Amino acid sequence: MYSQEGSQYDINATTVKTDLDYIRLLLAYNVFFGDLGDRLRPKLYIGPTLGFLIDADTEVRNQETDIMDNYKNLDIGLAAGLGFNYRIGSQQWLNFDARFQPGLTDIVENKPSGTDAIRNQAIQLSIGVAFGLY
């Protein structure tokens, strides 16, 4: 999954915006409620997530600067969520998920010692349609 993360803040009446673009992989353990043939199947899931940094830039006063060297290439986190699958046809399901994703690793490269860790944290809502292959 592609994920754009980062921050935005104001300092001395100037807005500083940082965009961190990741390709994220999630290995989730899913627990479905109800029976396999039910039209509506609620679910819970949890698992580790790996984020591979593909781009990082910051924008100040409409000037964009590449800052890839300031961030680690790998972000490790957890993901926990809930949702449901709703059967809308033969081998077709509407999927809805809400996920909380706290980062576990400090994402900043070469930080002075004694500085607090900076970690990604995200809330994600997703809606999609799944098609069975058999």
pLDDT at 90: 86
44 pLDDT band, cuts 50/70/90, is: very high
Q: Does the structure show a pLDDT above 90 at 37? A: no
User: What are the two backbone dihedrals, phi and then psi, of residue 100, each rounded to the nearest 5 degrees?
Assistant: -110, 135
Question: Tokens 């609620």 label which residue?
Answer: 42
pLDDT at 112: 84
**Could you tell me what percent of the chain has a pLDDT over 90?**
84
Per-residue burial over 7-37, b = 16 or more CB atoms within 10 Å of its CB, e = otherwise: eeeeeeeeeeebbbbbebebebeeeeeeeee
Residues sharing a CB contact under 8 Å with residue 110, sequence separation 6 or more, in sequence order:
70
CA 67 vs CA 14, 25, 27, 57, 85: distances in Å: 18, 23, 29, 5, 40
Range of the domain at 122: 2-7+15-131
pLDDT of 57-105, one tens digit each?
999 999 999 999 999 999 999 999 999 999 998 889 999 999 999 999 9
pLDDT at 118: 92
DSSP 8-state code for residue 117: P
Q: Does the structure show a pLDDT above 80 at 115? A: yes
CATH number (domain holding residue 75): 2.40.160.20
In this prediction the pTM is 0.82
pLDDT at 107: 95
**Cβ atoms of residues 42 and 32 within 8 Å:** yes
**How many structural domains does the chain have?**
1
8 pLDDT band, cuts 50/70/90, is: very high
